[in-house]
Amino acid sequence: MDLENQKRVKDLAEKHGPENILVILGAAEGEAAGIAAETVTAGDPTYAGPLTGVQLGLSVYHVCEEEIKSLLDPAVYDEQIGMMEMVLDVDDIVSEMSAIRDEHTKY
Amino acid sequence: MNSVLTAASYILVHAPDMVVHNGTTQTTERVVNPGSEYLKQLPEHIRSYDQAVAYAPNQTYIGNMTPGQLGEMEQPWHDMPVAGATREGRYGEIMPQDEFLLLMQASDMFDLVRLDRAFVAKTKPALEKHPLLGQEILALVKAGEDASDIARAVNEEHAEGLYHMGQLVGYVKRAHDVDANLSAHVLLENLASKASAVLALRHLLHTSGVAPEEIEYVIECSEEACGDMNQRGGGNMAKAAAEVAGLGNATGSDVRGFCAAPSHAFVMAASLVKAGTFKKVAVTAGGSTAKLGMNAKDHVRKGLPVLEDVLGGFAVLITADDGKNPEIDLDIVGRHTVGTGASPQAVITSLVLSPLERAGMKIQDIDKFAAELQNPDITKPAGAGDVPQANFKMIGALAVKTGELDRGGLNGFIEQHGMVGWAPTQGHIPSGAPYMGFARQAILDGEMEKAMIIGKGSLFLGRLTNQFDGISFVLRKNRGAAQQQQEPGISKEEVRGMIAEALRSFAASMEG
């Protein structure tokens, strides 16, 4: 995850409390989604950014996961994400995200 | 009368020591985590020049293989060297780093690049054999300095070291004591970009057969900025490169727009020629040292070679219609506007579907789409997926959404209308531009009629706007001078618009 985004996530978690933060990802691929999810839960796996060694344990979902998709207006979802969803390997993304959540999410 | 694509050239520079010393992933790591395992392991993953030459995507870039031939090879490609691979290609070459350091010095007009005397003596004979650089350029290479002076400049005078095979062989001097925009770091980036554009321009003269003095205007479209503290992006990289390349009758200017800049530049060049302002316009860009080894952490972690070890460059010549070369059809230009929005669906609609609909065409009327041609060997292990594939899937998905394609036909669409990526991840380099030469040839050979070149740019990286950007155009078989002469001064679209307007005012008069 981009160093600036790591800083923003860290600052927001400190300001509002980690239990009040939900991170929504839009990565195009399972592995990239997994790395971003790991960064905001168990810490930056690349040891490069402000979240290195910081275990925020935040709630984190990919926007194409049912938990998030079901909350959105279907027309808006279709317009903004429908085509992308057709193109993505959503099963792979869901399995990566679930694995990270099961292991590292605290909230 | 449209303008035509007359020639293209593509060059790479193998720059293994620049990966280590100038790539920002590595320079950042040295600041943040200087003793890291990654930095220790990195040198073991650097490829030799011969390995970089034998790499199939690189052979494709310089034109020794077609994208179709590359697509027939099983991925990944990094451990499948091409037998009989050569430095020279149909469209350009892969220059080794030592020769390039001399070319950087020849491209430097302010005595900022200093090289080791022994290194120059050893390397210059090789450069003297270069068939396209010429005496004027070689004469700009200086005899060199003592190794002790070089070490002192790097250690004590804020110079940026130039390395070859792990040895310090020269430096780029800072051009000002306090101005960050004239620091040694910035000048090294700019001079590497300029020198690689010079090499691409020299190859363009060769592939086009055009005399240097015939080129009237050069548009440079890299992602670097040159200037001082009072005008950080003052420019003009185009004219600077044109001077060294020997284009004595040219002026030029720079176009910026991140990875979309080349496509913007092609549309502008085609417009300048179509308008009759200039007859021959070259579009060029050199490479980016900053992006060398950008994803090397992932490559090293996965035991792969560092695949981002080359600078990329290209040049394209656009001229007045000759009745033969493929036209750049300016009636079919797609653009991502401020109001388009950033969703992938909106982006691809604006760049692909909207311009085709305006021209009364369907998505499948385009034989080949070329967008973001990043080499998947590089991006897949870095978690960024197969970028060109994702683009073609989206274009196919758009064809499904509009009902011109069955969902079951999606994979076939990608195969038929897309291609594998082969370009190094040098930002502006992959964005459609690498296909121009192949598209021209395939159209001339009668293998296809229309290709859409799509440039896309991530403007948010500059932190001035969250806007995405893109521009597209169609390269098509020359419709011949005769047919074009018959074209009246007014298009079908305009007639339709006029009829619609007349009907509207008629309707309005009825209401009134």
Count contacts between A and B (CB, < 8 Å): 46
Query: Cα separation of B264 and B258, whole Å?
Result: 10
Q: Which residues of B touch A29 (CB under 8 A)?
A: 383-385
CB-nearest partner of B343 from A27, A81, A87 = A81
Contact: B393, A87; criterion CB under 8 Å: yes
* pLDDT beyond 80 at B89: yes
Contact: B29, A48; criterion CB under 8 Å: yes
Would you tell me how many other CB atoms lie within 10 Å of the CB of residue B38?
18
Residue of B nearest to A46 (CA): B297
* pLDDT beyond 70 at B338: yes
* pLDDT beyond 60 at A46: yes
A 48-107: CB under 8 A from B: 48, 79-84, 86-87
CB-nearest partner of B343 from A28, A46, A80 = A80
Contact: A82, B345; criterion CB under 8 Å: yes
Contact: A28, B385; criterion CB under 8 Å: yes
Cβ neighbours of residue B418 under 8 Å, at least 6 residues apart? B368, B369, B388, B389, B391, B392, B395
Average pLDDT over every residue of B192-196: 98
Residue of B nearest to A88 (CA): B390
Residue of B nearest to A35 (CA): B383
* pLDDT beyond 60 at B114: yes
Tokens representing B259 are: 């990875």
Average pLDDT over every residue of B264-292: 98
Tell me the pLDDT tens digit for each residue of B470-505: 999 999 999 985 455 455 556 667 777 778 777 777
Round the CA-based radius of gyration of chain A to a whole number and report it: 14
pLDDT score at B473? 98
Tell me the pLDDT tens digit for each residue of B400-437: 989 999 989 999 999 999 999 999 999 999 989 999 99
Minimal Cα–Cα distance from B393 to chain A, Å?
Answer: 6
pLDDT score at A83? 84
CB-nearest partner of B32 from A48, A79, A86 = A48
Strand order in the sheet with B160-164: B113-115, B167-172, B160-164
pLDDT score at B444? 97
Best mutation target among B345, B352, B386 (most A Cβ atoms within 10 Å) is: B345
Contact: A83, B36; criterion CB under 8 Å: no
Q: Which residues of B touch A35 (CB under 8 A)?
A: 383
* pLDDT beyond 80 at B272: yes
Walk me through the domains of chain B, giving residue ranges and CATH numbers.
327-492 (3.40.47)
Tell me the pLDDT tens digit for each residue of A50-106: 999 999 999 999 999 999 999 999 999 988 888 888 888 899 999 999 999 999 999
pLDDT score at B239? 98
Residue B263 has φ and ψ, to the nearest 5°, of -65, -40
Q: What is the span of the domain harbouring residue A49?
A: 3-104
pLDDT score at B481? 54
Minimal Cα–Cα distance from A98 to chain B, Å?
Answer: 18
State which amino acid sits at residue A63.
Answer: V
- Is residue B87 very low, low, confident or very high in pLDDT (cuts 50, 70, 90)? very high
Provide the domain count of chain A.
1
pLDDT score at B483? 56
CB-nearest partner of B397 from A35, A79, A86 = A86
Tell me the pLDDT tens digit for each residue of A21-43: 999 999 888 988 999 999 999 99
The answer to whether the CB of B451 falls within 8 A of the CB of B462 is no
pLDDT score at B151? 97
Contact: A80, B398; criterion CB under 8 Å: no
Would you tell me how many other CB atoms lie within 10 Å of the CB of residue B420?
24
Average pLDDT over every residue of B91-99: 98
Minimal Cα–Cα distance from A84 to chain B, Å?
Answer: 7
CB-nearest partner of B394 from A32, A35, A83 = A83
A 29-48: CB under 8 A from B: 29, 31-32, 35, 46-48
The percent of residues above 90 in pLDDT, for chain B, comes to: 90
pLDDT score at B489? 57
Contact: B345, A86; criterion CB under 8 Å: no
CB-nearest partner of B397 from A27, A47, A83 = A83
Contact: B383, A86; criterion CB under 8 Å: no
Minimal Cα–Cα distance from B124 to chain A, Å?
Answer: 41
Contact: A86, B297; criterion CB under 8 Å: no
pLDDT score at A3? 86
Q: Which residues of B touch A82 (CB under 8 A)?
A: 345
Q: With residue B120 as reference, give the H or E element that holds it.
A: helix B117-128
Instruction: Please tell me the number of Cα atoms within 13 Å of B404 on its side-chain side.
Output: 15
Q: Which residues of A touch B462 (CB under 8 A)?
A: none
Query: Cα separation of B257 and B283, whole Å?
Result: 14
Contact: B297, A47; criterion CB under 8 Å: no
The answer to whether the CB of B378 falls within 8 A of the CB of B307 is yes
pLDDT score at B4? 98
Average pLDDT over every residue of B38-46: 97
- Is residue B347 very low, low, confident or very high in pLDDT (cuts 50, 70, 90)? very high
pLDDT score at B39? 97
pLDDT score at B412? 95
Best mutation target among A83, A96, A100 (most B Cβ atoms within 10 Å) is: A83
Pairing of strands B217-220, B280-285: parallel
The pLDDT mean for chain B works out to 95
Contact: B383, A31; criterion CB under 8 Å: yes
Tokens representing B145 are: 């300095």
Contact: A28, B343; criterion CB under 8 Å: no
Q: Is the peptide bond before B76 cis (omega within 30 degrees of 0)?
A: yes
CB-nearest partner of A84 from B29, B345, B400 = B345
Query: Cα separation of B284 and B10, whole Å?
Result: 10
Minimal Cα–Cα distance from A78 to chain B, Å?
Answer: 9
* pLDDT beyond 70 at B214: yes
Give the C-alpha distances (Å, rounded to integers) separating B235 from A26, B2, B28, B241, B312: 36, 29, 27, 11, 20
Residue of A nearest to B341 (CA): A80
